C-alpha cells in the first residue's frame, strides 16, 4: 500500500510542477480568416485570447505609441450574440470594475453600433449600463459582421492617456447575448466570462493573467481527478471483476486491484482537496452540483478503501451481503464519477481535447469490459454443456469392507444354491 502511494507521488509530481510553473500565456496567432480581416485594416499583430473564443488584433502607431488601432473579433458559429466588448483598466490589476470599455451592440433588425462605457461597481451589482464618456480618446468605432467568415468584429482607434503603459496594459474582453437599445444586458457568469482579463505587452504580444495560478490549479484539479478517480479506480474494478476468471492471475489479482485503488484514491483526494480550496477562494461563482457530487465521491470512496482493513472475514455469515453492498457501491461510484468529470469539464471549458481524451478513456474501458464479458459468458456456457462423468459410488458407511468375513458371508448368502 505504501509503495503504491509513493509511486503515485513520484510519477505525477514532475507533471504537476510543469503545469503550475507555466505562468506566461502562450502567443497563439489568430485564425487565417481574422488575419485576412486584420490585414485589410492595416493591423499586423493578432493573437487568440485565452477565453470565450475571442481574438485580438492591434497595431501601435509608429509616430505615437499611445495611439493604437484595435480589432476584437469572435466567430459566431450560429450563436445569437448581441454584443462584443473590449476595454482597458488603469488600476493595478485587470478586472471588470474600473474598465474603460468600448461595446459594440448588434440590434435584432440588423443594425449595429459601438459606444464607450465606464464600468463601475454598480454595474457589477446589476445596475443599468449606459453609454458614458471615458478618459481614453476613441475614434472610428465600428461593429461589423463579416458574413463571408461569420465573424463579428469591433474596430476602433484609441489614444491612451499618459497614465497607461503599453508594456503592461490591463485589458478586458467580454461577450453578451442580450441588449436593449444601447444598454447591454448582463453577460453569462461562467468561469470563462470571469477570467476574461490579462496584462499584455503590446510591444511583443506576451501576456500574463492575474488569476493565472488559480487557472492552473483548476487544470491540476481536473487532471488529477480524471487520472485518479476516472482512470485508476475503474481499472481496479475491472481487475477485481474479470481477472480471477477468465484471466487467472492468482494472488497478483488482489495486489493489482489494491494498487490501482490506492493510487487512484490518493490522486483523487489531492484533486478533491484542490477543488475545495478553489471553491472557498472563489467570490464570483459557486458550483453546487459539482461540489455535492465531489463530496459524495470522496465520502464513499473513502469507505470503500477502508474495506482493505475492516472488511468481514470470509467465514462470517454476513460476508455475502457485504460483498453485494461493496460491489453495488463501487459501480454506483463509477457512474457518479463519470458524470461529475463531464460536469467539471463543462464548467472549466478547456479546449475540446479534454473531453475527447476522457471519452477515449471510457471507450477503451468499454471495449475491454465488453470483450471480457463476452469471453466469460462464452466460456461459462461451453463448460456448462460439457458432459460430467459421475464417480462410481463407494461402499456406504454401514456396508461391510471388501475381504472381511462379513463380506464373504454376505456374498455366500446371495449365491444361488448348487444343484446336485
C-alpha cell at 104: 459594440
Bridge partners of 88?
A: 100, 171
Burial 77-95 (b: 16+ CB within 10 A, else e): eeeebbbbbbbbbbeeebb
Does 326 belong to an annotated binding site? yes
CA distance 216 to 195: 12
Angle between helices 353-385 and 212-227 (to 10 degrees): 10
Which residues does 132 contact at the CB level (< 8 Å), separation at least 6?
116, 117, 118
Largest CA-CA distance found in the chain, in angstroms, rounded: 146
Sheet containing strand 45-48, strands side by side: 45-48, 54-60, 67-75, 151-159, 137-146
Does 45 belong to an annotated binding site? no
Does 327 belong to an annotated binding site? no
Q: Comparing C-alpha atoms, which of 350, 364, 337, 365 is closest to residue 267? A: 337
Are the CB atoms for 106 and 136 separated by under 8 Å?
no
Does 257 belong to an annotated binding site? yes
HEC profile of 292-335: HHHHHHHHHHHHHHHHHHHCCCCCCCCHHHHHHHHHHHHHHHHH
Binding-site annotation: residue ranges for heme b: 221, 257, 290, 326
Binding-site annotation: residue ranges: 221, 257, 290, 326
Amino acid at each position: 500500500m505504501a509503495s503504491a502511494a509513493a509511486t503515485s507521488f513520484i510519477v505525477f509530481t514532475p507533471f504537476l510542477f510543469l503545469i503550475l510553473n507555466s505562468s506566461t500565456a502562450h502567443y497563439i496567432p489568430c485564425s487565417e480568416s481574422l488575419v485576412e480581416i486584420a490585414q485589410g485594416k492595416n493591423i499586423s499583430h493578432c493573437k487568440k485570447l485565452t477565453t470565450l473564443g475571442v481574438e485580438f488584433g492591434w497595431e501601435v502607431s509608429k509616430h505615437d505609441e499611445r495611439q493604437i488601432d484595435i480589432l476584437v473579433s469572435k466567430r459566431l458559429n450560429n450563436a445569437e450574440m448581441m454584443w462584443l466588448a473590449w476595454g482597458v483598466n488603469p488600476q493595478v490589476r485587470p478586472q471588470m470594475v474600473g474598465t474603460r470599455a468600448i461595446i459594440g451592440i448588434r440590434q435584432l433588425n440588423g443594425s449595429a453600433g459601438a459606444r464607450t462605457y465606464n464600468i463601475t461597481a454598480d454595474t457589477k451589482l446589476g445596475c443599468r449600463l449606459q453609454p458614458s464618456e471615458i478618459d481614453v480618446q476613441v475614434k472610428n468605432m465600428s461593429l461589423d459582421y463579416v458574413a463571408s467568415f461569420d465573424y463579428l468584429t469591433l474596430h476602433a482607434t484609441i489614444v491612451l492617456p499618459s497614465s497607461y503603459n503599453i508594456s503592461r496594459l490591463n485589458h478586458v474582453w467580454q461577450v453578451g447575448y442580450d441588449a436593449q437599445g444601447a444598454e447591454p444586458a448582463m453577460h453569462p457568469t461562467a468561469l470563462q466570462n470571469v477570467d476574461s482579463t490579462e496584462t499584455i505587452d503590446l510591444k511583443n504580444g506576451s501576456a500574463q493573467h492575474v488569476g493565472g495560478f488559480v487557472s492552473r490549479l483548476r487544470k491540476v484539479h481536473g487532471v488529477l481527478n480524471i487520472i485518479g478517480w476516472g482512470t485508476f479506480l475503474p481499472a481496479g474494478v475491472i481487475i477485481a471483476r474479470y481477472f480471477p476468471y477468465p484471466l487467472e492471475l492468482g494472488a497478483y489479482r488482489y495486489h493489482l486491484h489494491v494498487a490501482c485503488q490506492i493510487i487512484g484514491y490518493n490522486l483523487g483526494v489531492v484533486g478533491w482537496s484542490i477543488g475545495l480550496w478553489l471553491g472557498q477562494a472563489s467570490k464570483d461563482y459557486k458550483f453546487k452540483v459539482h461540489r455535492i457530487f465531489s463530496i459524495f465521491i470522496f465520502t464513499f470512496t473513502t469507505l470503500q478503501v477502508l474495506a482493505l482493513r475492516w472488511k468481514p472475514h470470509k467465514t462470517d455469515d454476513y460476508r455475502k451481503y457485504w460483498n453485494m453492498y461493496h460491489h453495488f457501491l463501487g459501480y454506483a461510484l463509477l457512474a457518479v464519477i463519470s458524470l461529475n468529470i463531464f460536469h467539471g469539464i463543462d464548467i472549466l471549458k478547456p479546449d475540446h481535447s479534454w473531453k475527447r481524451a476522457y471519452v477515449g478513456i471510457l471507450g477503451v474501458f468499454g471495449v475491454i469490459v465488453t470483450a471480457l464479458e463476452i469471453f466469460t459468458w462464452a466460456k461459462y456456457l461451453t463448460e456448462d454443456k460439457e458432459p460430467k462423468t459421475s464417480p462410481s459410488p463407494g461402499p456406504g458407511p454401514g456396508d461391510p469392507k471388501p475381504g472381511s468375513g462379513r463380506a464373504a458371508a454376505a456374498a455366500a448368502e446371495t449365491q444361488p444354491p448348487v444343484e446336485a
